[in-house]
């Protein structure tokens, strides 16, 4: 509770200083946004015009699909690279190379090949998250303690049973890190893709900029940030605590 209060006070202080700068007109431009007016735009966008409601739902639908595909594909690739030396030396090199390429640069090609903007944006979300998930899953499998594997083999685990019942469960902490990174990269790829594509929060932000509505721009930035905070503190943090407690990594 104390931590939550400190965070609320911190953000309240930031907004107070920001609004004070706006009121004192310290920046010699009419386009400098007001945080209070940005909250007004939030209210209008969600409860009057519905623009932000539609845009937020569209963006969340895209990231949900893209993130799910990235986690599934990345996990499968990571397991393959960890278990197969040939795949690691060949496909693994390609994964490392693709990891260094920002997923947004694939959007022009995706728009041409896939024809529809929605599918193209989901595609770059998948590209944004898959490689991080792959590499973390690979490291998680490779870093399973040899003693644990030997003990499992002594108990009769072999082949696929050893992988699914021992190695994958033991790699869950690393997989969780991969999921976190996949979400972060996928969310950024989504917003960048919508800036160049159509629909969603990214496109709405660009339209607001074109109409010089800086308060709406800030309002959309707030939504993007709040979604990130919700996913981090209400989804990943509780899961992380349970995983660390389950595997004995939690601090006493």
Give the mean pLDDT per block of 10 residues along the chain (252 residues).
Answer: 84 91 79 90 94 95 96 95 92 92 86 81 93 94 86 82 85 91 93 85 92 93 93 90 73 54
Sorted by where each begins, the domain ranges of the chain are 53-138+179-246
8 A C-beta contact, residue 140 and residue 78: yes
8 A C-beta contact, residue 135 and residue 73: no
pTM for the full model? 0.89
pLDDT score of 250: 58
Q: What is the DSSP string of 107-162?
A: HHHHHHHH-SHHHHHHHHHHHHHHHHHHHHHHHHHHTS-HHHHHHHHHTT--HHHH
Q: In whole angstroms, how large is the CA radius of gyration of the chain?
A: 22
Rounded to whole angstroms, the Cα distance separating 118 from 57 reads 13
8 A C-beta contact, residue 58 and residue 239: no
Rounded to whole angstroms, the Cα distance separating 219 from 75 reads 35
pLDDT score of 160: 82
Residues ≥6 apart with Cβ < 8 Å to 228: 184, 187
Element (H, E) at 54: helix 51-83
pLDDT score of 26: 78
8 A C-beta contact, residue 172 and residue 78: no
Secondary-structure breakdown of the chain: helix, strand, coil percentages, each rounded to the nearest 5: 85, 0, 15
Rounded to whole angstroms, the Cα distance separating 55 from 232 reads 21
pLDDT score of 176: 92
Rounded to whole angstroms, the Cα distance separating 252 from 245 reads 10
pLDDT score of 149: 83
pLDDT score of 248: 64
């Amino acid at each position: 509770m104390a931590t939550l209060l400190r965070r609320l006070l911190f953000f309240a202080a930031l907004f107070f200083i920001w609004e004070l700068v706006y009121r004192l007109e310290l920046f010699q431009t009419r386009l400098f946004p007001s945080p209070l007016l940005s909250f007004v735009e939030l209210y209008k966008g969600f409860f009057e015009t519905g623009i932000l409601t539609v845009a937020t739902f569209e963006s969340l639908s895209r990231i949900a699909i893209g993130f799910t595909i990235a986690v599934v594909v990345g996990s499968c690739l990571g397991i393959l690279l960890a278990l197969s030396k040939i795949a690691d030396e060949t496909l693994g090199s390609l994964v490392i190379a693709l990891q260094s390429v920002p997923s947004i640069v694939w959007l022009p090609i995706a728009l041409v090949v896939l024809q529809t903007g929605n599918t193209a944006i989901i595609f770059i979300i998948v590209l944004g998250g898959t490689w991080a998930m792959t590499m973390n899953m690979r490291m998680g499998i490779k870093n399973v303690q040899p003693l644990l594997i030997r003990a499992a083999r002594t108990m009769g685990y072999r082949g696929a049973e050893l992988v699914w019942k021992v190695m994958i469960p033991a790699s869950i902490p690393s997989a969780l890190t991969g999921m976190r990174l996949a979400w972060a990269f996928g969310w950024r790829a989504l917003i960048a893709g919508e800036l160049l594509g159509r629909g969603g929060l990214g496109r709405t932000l660009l339209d607001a900029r074109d109409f010089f509505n800086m308060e709406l721009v800030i309002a959309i930035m707030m939504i993007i940030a709040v979604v990130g905070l919700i996913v981090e503190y209400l989804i990943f943090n509780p899961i992380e605590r349970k995983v660390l407690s389950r595997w004995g990594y939690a601090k006493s």
